[in-house]
Amino acid sequence: MAISKIKSIQGSGTFDFNGSTLFKNEVELEDGTVGQVNTQTADKWKIGDEVEYTVTRDDPKYGKTLKFSKPNSGGSFGGGRPAADPKLDHNRQVLIMLQSNMKIAFDLSNGFGVDDRMNVTGDSLFAESERITEMMLNSRLLQK
């Protein structure tokens, strides 16, 4: 795969493929590569967009067919997941830990099935879940 920026792009029609309409675009990249890229929307790519591309067909009669993706996205047609915001990713992990720890706190409050069940409120369960999560986040194992 190579990376370049789109120097020019011009729509060149549509065609049906597996019940969907695809848009043909003639493109020239800053590195000199010229070819056709097919997209699901007419305005998927714009001049100046950085693309990671492969040549999927190089036919003397029809020219090159290119496959574009956004750099580091992992998907064709730019369909991969965008790079995750580290803060959002951390917050998601904390929420997953809180959810798991809520179950642990609930199990602990019920004495693992002992008939003498404690009178527990949602607030106290959440507080215990937060305490367990905080303990996990401050673990020496995470500090390494």
**Highest mean pLDDT: which range of 57-61, 111-115, 133-137:** 57-61
pTM reported for the whole predicted model:
0.49
Residue 48: Cβ within 10 Å count:
10
Q: Which of 80, 7, 110 is nearest to 49 (CA)?
A: 7
For the chain, the structural domain boundaries read 2-78, 86-143
3-state SS assignment for residue 133: helix
In this prediction, residue 61 carries a pLDDT of: 86
Q: Which of 101, 102, 110, 107 is nearest to 136 (CA)?
A: 101
Q: Give per-residue pLDDT as tens, 73-113.
A: 554 444 445 555 666 677 777 778 777 877 777 777 665 54
